[in-house]
Amino acid sequence: MTVVAPLIDGFGRVHTDLRISVTDRCNLRCTYCMPLEVVFKPREELLTFEEIGRVAGVAATLGIRTIRLTGGEPLMRRDLPELVRQLTAVPGIEEVALTTNGLLLAEQAADLHAAGLTRLNVSLDSLTTEGFERVARRPGLDRALAGLEVAKREGFQSIRINAVSIKGLTEAEIVPLARFCRREEFHLRFIEFMPLDAEESWDKSQVLSGADVRAVLERELGPLVAEQADDPGQPAIDYRWVDGGRVGFINAVTRPFCDRCDRLRLTADGQVRNCLFSTVEWDARSLLRGGGADTEIATLIRDCVAAKRAAHGIDTPSFARPSRAMYQIGG
Ligand code: SAM
Ligand code: SF4
């Protein structure tokens, strides 16, 4: 598909990736993301599959090529495979991926794969019941592991494990997670804790840096060799052990990757965002429900891209947290 004018922001970054949140609901309550007590958006405020498909279709004409479904917990949205089917059929979309906590994956993996989902990211912070529940504040480890097993059998092109690193909370998980992922041939990625927790307890001193995690891995499991990035827009820096296994680091706080960011986001309630840390949103839902034309949706997306800041600026004195937490934005 020829793109007449790609989505280029004021800093020359070309946008080709759209993260779509399909719900703010979740079956876990991870400390770094959600509050314990939560009021979810009424269902009528969430975009329908038809509305999501329309935004994706317009975005594809502007050069969006990959879509990642997220949430909240995306597998809690009924009939998700149907949405995957619709999105993989959008002209120009080359790949649809999913980020999930995996609790409902055992039941849904086959349908998702058959619908055209190729890549899976499963978030898993601990392999012990105690560790899992300390972070997730709900049970679910056995279901997540069962989901991973079914997904592996299903033969997805890629399965990645995401683990958030928090000082004083997740140090003991580093080596067991790495051993597990090497054995199971999952690609492990450690993500630095970002100031997007609903309880607003984030403090820089809690960020367990990717460099510190890497040092532990090298000490315990042997030297790591840097890998060439498959995709220049990817936020992770990946490494490989010479005797097998890959591990990556998304050092969003200590080594921001804003200069190569190629992402846009659509929240479950239909707001377009140009950054996880954006404090402004562009209201696509009002256009969709108010008879807006595709050209108007395209203009809204372009305006959003044009307003993108150079960097998230977490370390700058003027940094202001977004008013919505990770589960409301879509990570
Ligand atoms: N529920 C799904 C899951 O957990 O994979 C999808 C949504 S979740 C918001 C997406 C990703 O964001 C997960 O990998 C999660 O670990 C990560 N995440 C959530 N809050 C975060 C934070 N404050 N800092 C860093 N990563 C965070
Ligand atoms: Fe739910 Fe994912 Fe947030 Fe955990 S990180 S509370 S699983 S949305």
pLDDT of residue 257: 87
CATH code at 179?
3.20.20.70
Question: Which ligand 2 atom minimizes the distance to the CA of 73?
Answer: 8
C-beta of 34 in contact with ligand 2 (< 6 A)? yes
pLDDT of residue 317: 84
Ligand 1 mutation target, pool 99, 132, 143, most atoms within 8 A of CB: 99
- Report which protein residue has its CA nearest ligand 1's atom 12: 331
Rounded alpha-carbon distances, angstroms, from residue 80 to 69, 116, 162: 9, 12, 21
Query: Counting ligands in written order, which one lies closest to the CA of residue 170?
Result: 1
pLDDT of residue 286: 98
Ligand 1 centre to CA of 288 (Å) is 28
Residues with CB under 6 A from ligand 1: 26, 32-33, 70-71, 73, 99-101, 123, 162, 164, 191, 193-194, 196-197, 326-327, 331
Within-domain flag for 189: yes
Shortest CA distance to 112 belongs to which of 96, 136, 133, 92? 96
pLDDT of residue 87: 98
Q: Which phi and psi (to 5°) does residue 108 adopt?
A: -110, -10
pLDDT of residue 254: 93
Where in the sequence is the domain holding 236, given as residue range(s)?
7-329
Within-domain flag for 1: no
pLDDT of residue 228: 84
- Report which protein residue has its CA nearest ligand 1's atom 10: 331
Within-domain flag for 2: no
Radius of gyration of the chain (CA): 19
Ligand 2 centre to CA of 229 (Å) is 27
The label of the residue with tokens 């960020």 reads 207
8 Å CB contact between 31 and 16: no
pLDDT of residue 235: 84
Ligand 2 mutation target, pool 22, 25, 26, most atoms within 8 A of CB: 26
Within-domain flag for 89: yes
The residues near 176 (Cβ < 8 Å, ≥ 6 apart) are: 127, 128
In the predicted model, residues of the chain with pLDDT beneath 50 are none
The number of distinct structural domains making up the chain is 1
pLDDT of residue 229: 78
Long-range contacts of 282-289 (CB under 8 A, 24+ apart): 284/55, 285/45, 285/47, 285/51, 288/47, 288/51, 288/54, 288/55, 289/51
